[in-house]
Structure 1
């Protein structure tokens, strides 16, 4: 019975605890709800503030853009107004010009109205001739200026080729050098895989490498003697080293260039010592030494210069002139040949300008410029320099060109000029360095004379192989002669 009564009081005692727990939970829920509402209100307030700030920033940006747009519109309006004013000014100027032209035309028409048909025809023909002449001369100058600007490289090649070229057998000796090989197997190594090495050699040196069936040698061909010598030395270095590939080719070429430069300096020192010349500009020594590799009609230019210096000294001593100045002038007379393959102008004018720049005496400079009569000879030094040059060039064995070839070239120059209509006479002077053409003045006017000189110069360059440059001079002479008979009565 006690067991049946025992659990009931215990259950009755738990109800207060459950009520308390429920009350606490209810209070917690109410407090949490209040907290969440307060927090949501804070978030909404913060969002409202952020929206206000964004709205203010956007309004400021819109104001700035509106101000920029108004400024751009004002600038455009001002530019349009300025352009409009300029256009109005141009129209005013054109209107004034048209009024002046109209007045001039009215005056011209009034004047022409008083001419006869023959006079009017003659005036129209004369005016058309004058306008055509002026237009042709302007066009010719423009074409020449464009040709000089675009064909400078081609002109250098033509000048270099013309200077080095002479008789057939001499040309072969002048433009080809042989390189000895230890064995024919070396030819294959020079060629390289698929021709890689030989193409690299030709590209670096600027010379042509000729490999034929001749045993034990390869040939190097180039009209520029210094470039040919550099190429020959490069191949010799490669053959001696045994390693032949593009990288080694460039190294050998750099070594060969330095070696040739030193050879030029040594050759210049030897030539100066041979003539007992002590004071000489250091910058001119490599230029002077490069004449060792230059040839004229197969003659070594540096040896020719030394020989001319000695002859000039002897001639000056015989006549009591200044032997030191004469020797120096004759020695330097062909100095310009070291530069003329790449510089426009004759070697006499180029050498004179080079000597003037490096402080040579005026007498020496003038003798260099006058040794081919390009400028008149004015002193004993000029005459002795010309005589020494002629003696050295004309002595037996000095030059390889035959007299027959020289005469044939002069005749070819004269016949080429005489074939043109209006030419009365053509004479080649200065050993073929100048072609003087006399024309009939009634058939060739001044403009046609200039055109004839230009055409002849082009034909000489295309058809005739000449050493150096040839000056074409067209001479047009008009003479007015009146004869008055004897006055007085006759018996």
Structure 2
């Protein structure tokens, strides 16, 4: 077999290459041998791989069996521990139940013993009751027997009395009753006087206790805000600007505010004077704003005063509403609220009238509730009792009459109107709320510290009281106490008697009324005592 293989070359012609059959056989054999050897090599590699895989699988299985055995042991140990814990818990619960049962048995035993003791006591009491019943029955029989004997004796005595007096039963009864009426008439009058004194003492003590309780339940601050009449200025040159050319600024200011502006040699201040406290406050704030602003001329003055009036009007409404809410008195007329706010700028003996009215309202409400009356109505009367002081600069008359007229005009309750009119005893107090309001007003005005005065004036008043009291013959010492509301006078026992001491006490009180001017009352207490001492040897 001839094979011709052509190979391309650079030459244009093809050169044939011839191989023999033997050579081809060798090539084929070598290829077959290589294929056989490759197949065998592949089988060998696969066999080795299977052997390694089997070995690795056996190792994995061995490890898994070892791990499974370890876990099985751990599980057994854990199960034993759980079983031991459960056994311990069960034993603890069993012990606890055993103890509880033992405690219950002990308590039941105690109860059984107590019941037994009660049964024994009941048995003893039953025996005692039976014995008492027997004795009572015997005594009743004895009483009935004696009562029968007494009735028989009374019949005998009655017949004897009728025979001796010659009077029948009706005549004797009439004469006896007449004698009893005559004898008891005097005793009845004495008992009435005694009971009246006891009732007066009891009422006085109860009233004092009620007032003290109400005042203690309501503790108000005594500090009062004093309305200032001065305005600070940065320098004295500002006084000329306030006066203005030919006094036009100060005239415009006084006309717009309705106050008097006093500018003197006092350095650093300008004095504002007016009877109306609200106008005085408007003038003070307006002047302070003008000084701060620096522009002082008639048109600016009118503008600032108008703005300040609106500001004060708003404040008056706020002050009135705050007082109304504080005391819990709803439904007031807007004009009444405005008048309440005006009391914020009014003082009486340096006591702020609005705070005083609020305090009187609370005390009145507490007193009324203690007496079983309407506390809300009493608080309303107490809050509005001094409302006339907000308009007494513009209206003639006393503030009770002015306040009553205003409240009646704005539709207030008749009780509130009567309280405002009669809280100073100007009229007869026909309503209990008027009396309550008057008492609360006196408590608020006279409590120590409510109405302030300067230290010099206070000391001078104390000295005057003591000087007047010691000026009477027979007075040994005199002490002014309770902020001058009481004077304790020590009498000289050698120069006075009880009767003369009483006369001196009246004379001292009359001298206070004639020589001094003071708010409220001054109590004069005269003390006269005799002391005797001996020494035992």
Higher relative contact order (CA 8 A, sep 6+): 1
Range of TM-score over shorter length: 0.3 to 0.5
TM-score, length basis structure 1:
0.46
